[in-house]
Amino acid sequence: MVATMFLFAVPYATELNPITNLFFGSFGFLGVILAALCYAAIIVLMGGYLPDPIDIRFVAALAVIYGVFVINNVLLLVSGTSLISIVAA
């Protein structure tokens, strides 16, 4: 969430998530927090309806995917290049 907020503050980086962009356009930085809370609520609610073995794999997979997005955002802020461009090189 913090890295995403910085993506809106620096001129050379852009947030690609359309929902976060919509919330930011409507509510400003409060919209970024609201989007992050909505994502977390969706994950918790979905995890509550899945059977136990699938639930653990689901949460673990989403944690890994979210981690990759966070790493990409931080790299984009620090170096100006995305994770995709680093891996593709």
Question: Is the predicted pLDDT of residue 16 greater than 90, yes or no?
Answer: no
d(CA 30, CA 80): 25
Please give the pLDDT value at position 26: 93
The full DSSP string for 21-37 is: HHHHHHHTHHHHHHHHH
pTM above 0.85, yes or no: no
CA nearest 17: which of 85, 66, 88? 66
End-to-end CA distance of the chain: 28
Q: pLDDT by residue (tens digit) across 32-57?
A: 889 888 888 887 787 777 777 777 78
Q: Which residue has the tokens 């620096």?
A: 10
